[in-house]
Amino acid sequence: MFSVFHPPQPHISPILTPLMYWVAGDLVLQRYFRAIDVDGQHHIPRSGPVILAPTHRSRWDALIIPYVAGRRLMGRDLYFMVSHDEMLGLQGWVIGQCGGFPVNTQAPAVSALRTGVELLLQGQALVVFPEGNIFRTPEIQPLKPGLARLAFQAAQRCTAVTIVPILLTYSQPYPRWSSHVNVVIGAPLTTANYPLDQPKLSAQQLTADLFAALQRLQHRQRHLCSV
């Protein structure tokens, strides 16, 4: 008899999660990086279902995002869609205790998408890297359609979902000690601006609009750096 695999449900440990926020932020990030510059934090909503949509340039991203947009700013923890190969062993257990749950970035399972939808229905903040994988080049990569599908599946069952574009860049492709990090948070998009009776077309348009928003953030950052 074959058993059906059910991925572990995301969990926020009341002990381990605050400890990891402190260790990652105060002990690791502040000492490893020369500076972490953040612009646009006022764009992140403090309540309601929200998807944070950062570019993905390093494994450090998973620590940077909670540091600049997590409980210290929003007063709530973040849930993460994490590549399934990062959810193995002790590392996977720790990630699972801090709000992470696995997803196959090449072919997302229905169960992973359902978990994301349920979190949004609960009014949680969910981090989804729309490019899917880590890319060391600065150019914005084509976005996966899963984020928009999540947003509209949730929007059809609750109030509008907010999507926040976030640009993450490092002074080095493989960040080393004393590297510099730039985080630019853009004006949010919302499913309220798209027709819910045409979810496929709306998801395609939202994906295109998110891509354009990330490109605008990149142009803005390059302009600021050149001034």
pLDDT digits (tens, 9 = 90+) for 76-96: 899 998 776 666 676 677 777
The pair of structure tokens assigned to 8 is 């572990």
Work out the pLDDT band at 103, boundaries 50, 70, 90.
Answer: confident
Q: Three-class SS of residue 163?
A: strand
Please give the C-alpha separations between residue 23 and each of 17, 36, 89, 136, 200, in angstroms, as whole numbers: 10, 16, 20, 26, 42
Q: What is the CATH number of domain 16-171+179-226?
A: 3.40.1130.10
Half-sphere exposure of 21 (CA within 13 A, CB side): 21
- The pTM assigned to this predicted structure is 0.89
pLDDT tens digits, 171-221? 999 999 999 999 999 999 999 999 999 999 999 999 999 999 999 999 888
